[in-house]
Amino acid sequence: MQENIIPHDHAIKLEDRVRKNGYAPKLIWFTGLSGSGKSTLASAFEVYLFNQGYGTYILDGDNVRSGLNKDLDFSDSSRVENIRRIAEVSKLFVDAGVVVLTAFISPFRADRAQARDLVGGENFIEVFVDTPIEVCEQRDVKGLYAKARAGKIPNFTGIDSPFETPEHPDVHIRTAGQSVEESLKELIEQIVPKLK
């Protein structure tokens, strides 16, 4: 705790929000290479949850790296800070009773573990969007792999910057050879029971 910072004990607690909403907020943390399917699956899953009546919010590169984190680049230290801030923001959303879906590469195990610790293990669901780099590169949704191979993007994850594979993800989605609908079905089956 920082010196002279004394948090106020507000009257409405998380348990009050849970009772009112009728579901448990969670942080659903998608991790995987660029092009693995994080945004596609987080978005499809959010639509499903939203239509089922859950309060949801997605944090992803576009809405975070262009605003809150626009001072950060793709050096290791910036990626660490990126994930630290996202975990802190997610914690606030979870405390507000929202089901949060994050879609960041989040390449380092220690940072994902820190996010888990911050919101509490019971509130954190790590989803490994497991797609071989060859498949991501073939998809090349944004043309970034071609640029990285051409030496135009330094420190590109999977090429000259590491991705530390999750060892014990809560949910493991293998997207190669699987349709978005099939992957979504797996997410629904494995995660929705945890929100009850």
Ligand X SMILES: Nc1ncnc2c1ncn2[C@@H]1O[C@H](COP(=O)(O)OS(=O)(=O)O)[C@@H](OP(=O)(O)O)[C@H]1O
Residue nearest to ligand ADP (CB): 37
89 near ligand X, judged by CB under 6 A:
no
Structure tokens at 78: 């910036």
DSSP-derived pairing of the beta strands 171-174 and 27-31? unpaired
> For the residues of 118-182, what is the DSSP string, one character each?
HH-GGGEEEEEEE--HHHHHHH-TTSHHHHHHTTSSSS-BTTTB-----SS-SEEEE-TT--HHH
169 near ligand ADP, judged by CB under 6 A:
no
21 phi, psi to nearest 5 deg: -80, -35
From the list 170, 160, 42, 32, the residue with the least C-alpha distance to 105 is: 32
The residues carrying an active-site annotation are 106
41 near ligand X, judged by CB under 6 A:
no
- Within residues 131-150, the interface with ligand ADP by CB under 6 A covers 139, 141
Rounded to a whole number of angstroms, the minimum distance from the CB of residue 57 to ligand X is 16
- Within residues 126-165, the interface with ligand X by CB under 6 A covers 142, 144, 153, 155-157, 161
> Taking CB within 5 to 8 Å according to partner kind, which of ligand X, ligand ADP, none is near residue 31?
none
107 near ligand X, judged by CB under 6 A:
yes
> Taking CB within 5 to 8 Å according to partner kind, which of ligand ADP, ligand X, none is near residue 123?
none
Residue selected from 40, 56, 106, 175 as contacting ligand X according to rule CB under 6 A: 106
- Judged by beta carbon, residue 60 or residue 95, the one nearer ligand X is 60
Contacting residues for 177 by C-beta, under 8 A, at least 6 apart = none
Count the site residues for ligand X by CB under 6 A: 20
Please give the C-alpha separations between residue 109 and each of 113, 148, 150, in angstroms, as whole numbers: 6, 23, 28
| Distance of alpha carbon 77 from alpha carbon 178, whole angstroms | 34
Q: Which long-range contacts (CB under 8 A, 24 or more apart) does 145-152 make?
A: 145/34, 145/35
- Contact range with ligand ADP by CB under 6 A, out of 63-71, 82-90, 154-162, 172-180: 172-180
- Contact range with ligand X by CB under 6 A, out of 13-21, 33-41, 46-54, 182-190: 33-41
- Contacts with ligand X by CB under 6 A lie at 34-35, 39, 61, 65, 74, 79, 82-83, 104-107, 142, 144, 153, 155-157, 161
